[in-house]
């Protein structure tokens, strides 16, 4: 079974950077594909990757990560100013982030308008076997 977990921005906005990264990584370690509203800050994304690399082993093979920027390309000066001000006040809600375990996610393809996530059937079968043993 493939599990997708949506994480609304409201669930992580009050967390500090370290706790935000830990929460997301913990979900991925449960073999869930995380669909997060918004984006991580560049520093948080770097921390997520660094922590992941430290924790890679026999049971945890790492993550696949992609972010879709929802920024409109054709906005005028006033729309850009308004959006920038809203981002500064409300946080970085524009965008969409996908994080999945490398054992399940074979590849994430991204273009300006969409994200395509391809799963690894072998990884899914291995997870099913582990769940049946429990």
DSSP label at residue 112: T
Spatial neighbors of 32 by CB under 8 A, at least 6 apart, are 3, 4, 5, 100, 101
Sheet holding 32-37, edge to edge: 3-7, 32-37, 96-101, 63-68
pLDDT score at 129: 74
CA–CA distance, 82 with 72 (Å, rounded to integer): 13
pLDDT score at 132: 73
DSSP label at residue 15: S
pLDDT score at 88: 65
Task: Tell me whether strands 32-37 and 114-119 are parallel, antiparallel or unpaired.
Answer: unpaired
pLDDT score at 71: 60
pLDDT score at 107: 86
pLDDT score at 95: 82
pLDDT score at 75: 61
pLDDT score at 113: 74
Q: Which residues of the chain have pLDDT under 50?
A: none
CA distances from 112 to 44, 94, 134 (A): 22, 14, 41
pLDDT score at 23: 96
CA–CA distance, 8 with 5 (Å, rounded to integer): 10
Domain span at residue 69? 3-133
SS3 84: helix
State both tokens at 90.
């409300």
Number of domains in the chain: 1
């Amino acid at each position: 079974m493939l599990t997708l977990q949506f994480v609304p921005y409201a669930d992580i906005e009050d967390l500090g950077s370290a706790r935000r990264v830990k929460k997301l990584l913990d979900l991925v370690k449960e073999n869930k594909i995380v669909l997060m509203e918004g984006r991580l800050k560049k520093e948080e994304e770097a921390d997520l990757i660094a922590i992941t690399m430290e924790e890679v082993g026999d049971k945890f093979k790492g993550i696949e990560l992609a972010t879709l920027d929802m920024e409109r390309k054709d906005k005028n000066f006033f729309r850009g100013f308004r959006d920038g001000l809203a981002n500064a006040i409300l946080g970085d809600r524009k965008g969409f982030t996908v994080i999945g375990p490398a054992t399940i996610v074979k590849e994430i393809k991204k273009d300006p308008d969409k994200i395509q996530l391809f799963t690894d059937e072998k990884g899914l079968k291995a997870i099913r076997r582990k769940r049946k043993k429990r």
